Chains A and B, each alone.
Chain A
Amino acid sequence: MPRASAWTLGWLALAVALVLLPQALSFSQQEILVFLTINVLLVSSYRLLTLTGEWSLGHAVIMGVGAYASALVTKWTGLFVPLSMLVGALTAAAVAWVLSFPLFRMKGFYFLIGSFAAGEIIRLLWKRFQDPFGGAKGLKRIEPMPNLDLGFHHFDFFLPTNYYYFALVAVGICLWLMWRVERSPMGLAFHAVHWQDKLAQASGINVRGYRMLAFVLASGFAGLSGALLAHYIGTINPGSFGVEQMVFILTWAIVGGTSTFYGPILGVVVLTILNEIVLRGMGFEQARPLIYGFILILSVLFLPKGLESLVQGAMARWRVAAPRPAPVEREKQA
């Protein structure tokens, strides 16, 4: 089979599998699937930020900015929830843009610590101001996604299956956008800023500007993931976007690997299934942190380049094993 056709078939199979997936899961697994889908967007947006070589410790808080903004906009204005989610994403991007001025005066480790400090300031503001952020208890009874009647199907978005389909479409579009960004000249500039910043600067690339751009774009997508979460669970509080959540994002990215687009996605999918389904299902409820930590150590020891290295290895073997078409065939395919 020609390689292009194999790819098309592969994508089609994946799409069908994602649509049918909830039907094969239990109620609680469907809930986990919703959160997993949202986390796929979150960790992918984090990778977009890391393309320029900067790692942030404020990404979870930026996710929270989107969540708070979207929840408050629906509360104050009654705006249609999907639109308020976009407002949440834009607010997160705008906050990131403002933060980027002081933060991108720093690089590397200093940026890491600076982003953590900026995030903590935002979190403390949420706690400090009971009005409008709800203080330490946060916001409750956030407007849910309104039900949708399409005639052939009534979508009650309280149900995890329906919300999963909604989140899947939103996340799918975002992933496609991020993919296009990375493949565009802008994405090439991000890579250049990461690997050869002096050379890029000498070539006329505005290094600081591209770093800011990656930060703002990544924050917009993270804000959307926060908004998706807020309107599903109906409650958010400053603790939901704290250090612990940030550690999870880092772990997903590191275990999955960040050199490919699918690396962090692989990380979040594998680790979530392991932690929430496999270990709980095996009855290891209280020993999960111990086993989870042990598996992380294993992965760092044996897969220092992340889970993506396994896929890269398999792809390389597949390329070698697959018979290459004759030159005439290749020309025809081209």
Chain B
Amino acid sequence: MFRNLLNGRIDRRRFLQSSATLAAGAAVGSHFSTKASAQGGKVVKIGFLAPLTGPVAAWGKPGLDGCSIWAEWVNSEGVEIGGERYTIEFVSYDDEYDPTKARTGATQLILEDEVKFIMMLGGDPWPAVQPVAERTGMLVSTLLPSDLSPETTTLIAPAEVHPIYNVTGVEWLAQNKPDLKTAVICAQDDALGLPSVATYLAAFEAAGIEVLEAPQLFDPATTDFAPVVTKLIAKNPQIVCLDTCYADYVHPICEQLFQQGYKGQIISCTADFYDKIIEKTSKEFMEGFVFQFPDFDDPALNGENINFRRPNEFYEEYSRRFPGEWGAVSWEYASVMDLWLDAAKKAGSVEPEDVLAAMKEGGVGKHAFGEAEWWGEDLFGIDNALVGEWPVVVIEDGKAVIKGFGNIPAWYNQHRDLLIKSMEALGQMYYQRG
């Protein structure tokens, strides 16, 4: 077909037939990949409201894929809640990271699909979902605790405390590479980038690392990163911090850093699909890259403190089904489900208010990376974030390796004032938002 196309011998009808077949094939594939299998008994539906298409899809779609594996495993083991047998089924709605679509999605999931719990990425779409969740009493989880405020009583952040865990990476750098004393930061100018900038600024200050210039905030529509990187490394920093850039930015920025001859340390919140970055740069260039999201085949995750169900096996299965798609959120939504299931079993009910009460009982919970506390009053105005230890990951010989776990509450207790000062300076405290 392509030869014909190049030779100009393909007619319009054949082009359309081929394209239609391709579209239908892709569509059918995507349809079946999101369905959880039903195994009999009662069905409890869980809503998945996150971007599955568009520029933020990398923080939604891999999570849904992870949930499909989680559901198969859990359903095959058998789920018993309150003496009744259940099958867990995920219902997804692509919110495209758009508040209007998120509101529509929440309405559909709650009122039509009758889900008992909704998992969201959070961020811009959350404020549009908030009134729907408030009115219906729906329990919702977010990956972004910056969505939390004193009013969001049914919103929890049980998987990650973005961006506070980023302090562990900087702390590790300061302890293990004490010669690094200067840094620069760049981030997209949006709701994800700014609180992360505030956190990194506080973490660098706490570690005695000088930030050479004001963080460079680029527009999310940026596609050419050459000038961004040129300006970024103009002062010869020892550390380039990529903040919480989306994968679509981390990749071209790393490429530019490589092409413009940067040889220093890089630290980033995420490095999704880092093997692709290595392909575009080199193994040597990426050596020592610090970030926060491990591959789950890491032996460090087999410790007794880890609460995630069979992490190595999960990673293996995920990589088999979705090769090359493992990312920061592949395990996170599944880990939220672990927490939800434990709470539902404890409560003997799948109703949102019962599950929430059971989840927060005693003020502690089983986070994926160990026992953690419900925390956040200071920063978010409500103790609805589950915070404990978080891994520091370093790329060594082309592979992500956990180098240790940092304790977030311990860091916070030492540097609380710094973080709050930094958050306030960028208007990121809960009482300054919106």
Residue numbers of A with Cβ under 8 A of B are 26-28, 31-32, 35, 124, 127, 130-131, 134-141, 144, 158, 160, 229, 233-237, 239-240, 242-243, 276, 280, 282-291, 294, 297-298, 301
DSSP class of A's interface residues: helix, strand, loop or mixed?
helix
Contact B190 A136 (CB under 8 A): yes
Distance of A236 Cα from B54 Cα, bound (Å): 19
Segment among B101-109, B298-306, B325-333, B405-413 that sits at the interface with chain A:
B101-109
Distance of A171 Cα from B16 Cα, bound (Å): 38
Q: Does B191 contact A (CB under 8 A)?
A: yes
Chain B residues near A26 (CB-CB < 8 A) = 108, 112
Distance of A5 Cα from B433 Cα, bound (Å): 56
Given contacts A139-B434, A140-B433, A285-B34, contact A35 B100 (CB under 8 A): yes
Chain B residues near A135 (CB-CB < 8 A) = 194, 427
Per a CB cutoff under 8 Å, which of B16, B92, B434 touches A140? B434
Distance of A285 Cα from B12 Cα, bound (Å): 27
Identify 5 new A-B residue pairs, CB closer than 8 A, beyond the known A286-B33, A298-B16.
A240-B100, A283-B27, A287-B29, A290-B27, A291-B23
- From 176 to 198 in chain B, residues with beta carbon under 8 angstroms from any chain A beta carbon are 189-191, 193-194
Shortest Cβ gap from A239 to chain B (Å) = 6
Question: Which chain B residue shows the least CB distance to A124?
Answer: B219
Shortest Cβ gap from B35 to chain A (Å) = 9
Chain A residues near B189 (CB-CB < 8 A) = 127, 136
Q: Does B206 contact A (CB under 8 A)?
A: no
Ordered nearest first, which 5 A-B pairs have the shortest CB separation? A140-B434, A28-B108, A235-B127, A287-B27, A286-B30
Q: Does B37 contact A (CB under 8 A)?
A: no
Shortest Cβ gap from B196 to chain A (Å) = 12
Contact B194 A31 (CB under 8 A): no
Per a CB cutoff under 8 Å, which of A27, A127, A158 touches B111? A27
Per a CB cutoff under 8 Å, which of A136, A284, A285, A294 touches B20? A294
Q: Does B94 contact A (CB under 8 A)?
A: yes
Distance of A283 Cα from B32 Cα, bound (Å): 9
Per-position binary interface string of chain B over residues 70-104, scored 1 when its CB falls under 8 Å from any chain A CB and 0 otherwise: 00000000000000000000001110001110011
Q: Does B234 contact A (CB under 8 A)?
A: no
Chain A residues near B29 (CB-CB < 8 A) = 287
Per a CB cutoff under 8 Å, which of B61, B128, B219, B221 touches A235? B128
Question: Which chain B residue shows the least CB distance to A245?
Answer: B98
Question: Which chain A residue shows the least CB distance to B19?
Answer: A294
Shortest Cβ gap from A280 to chain B (Å) = 8
A-B contact pairs, 8 of them (CB 8 A): A31-B108, A130-B432, A160-B107, A285-B31, A287-B26, A287-B29, A291-B23, A297-B19
Distance of A158 Cα from B131 Cα, bound (Å): 9
Question: Which chain B residue shows the least CB distance to A127?
Answer: B189
Shortest Cβ gap from A311 to chain B (Å) = 24
Contact B104 A31 (CB under 8 A): yes
Chain A residues near B27 (CB-CB < 8 A) = 282-284, 287, 290-291
Question: Which chain A residue shows the least CB distance to B151?
Answer: A141
Q: Does B220 contact A (CB under 8 A)?
A: yes
Question: Which chain B residue shows the least CB distance to A291?
Answer: B23
Chain B residues near A280 (CB-CB < 8 A) = 93-94
